[in-house]
Amino acid sequence: MRRMTWVIGGACLLLSGIAAAQIAKTKSVEGARVYIVSPKNGDTVSAKFTVQFGLKGMGVAPAGVNHPNSGHHHLLVDLKQMPNLNLPLPVSDNVRHFGNGQTEVDLVLPTGTHTLQLLLADYIHVAHDKPLLSEKITITVK
């Protein structure tokens, strides 16, 4: 029985490793870029404000829709360390998903200094091959 447990456990580890290795990354379009339209770097905003997402050279499609040359936005808020861009992006307060194809959001943040950055990901929430990552901006919430 013990030997069977080791065999099954080993097989599961091997299969999970193969599955992770087989996530095929979607290519980004050469010259495409993602950016934050508003607010601008250094802006002071109220506790509730609108973040507008910008994208050039590719299109926006909802999560789960595998449309060529497209993806959907993820807003990185006060992110200290970039997640593994070879795996689907996690969902957290720091990695916010816009899988319905949204191009803006009304955001509420506490008073203080915050950073915002956009990352476009494909239909399964994986960053493109040549990730489309905006410049990180810093804002102050009053």
Task: List, for residues 28-84, the tens digit of each pLDDT value.
Answer: 999 999 999 999 999 999 999 999 999 999 999 999 999 999 999 999 999 999 999
pTM attached to this predicted model? 0.84
Residue 22: pLDDT band (50, 70, 90) is low
The rounded mean pLDDT for the chain is 88
Residue 23: pLDDT band (50, 70, 90) is confident
**What is the separation, in whole angstroms, between the first and last Cα of the chain?**
63
DSSP character string of 1-66 = -HHHHHHHHHHHHHHHHHHHHT-PPPBPPTT-EEEEEESPTT-EE-SEEEEEEEEESSEE--TT--
Q: Which of 13-27, 53-67, 102-116 is predicted least confidently? A: 13-27
Q: What's the number of domains the chain is made of?
A: 1
- pLDDT, residue 16, reads 39
Question: How far apart, in whole angstroms, are the C-alpha atoms of residue 35 and residue 86?
Answer: 21
Tokens encoding 115: 């950073």
DSSP-based three-state secondary structure for 134: coil
Q: 38: which strand partners?
A: 52
Q: Which CATH number is 67's domain given? A: 2.60.40.10
Residue 24: pLDDT band (50, 70, 90) is confident
Residue 119's CB is within 10 A of a number of other CB atoms, namely 23
Q: 60: which strand partners?
A: 71
* Structural domain that includes position 23: 2-141
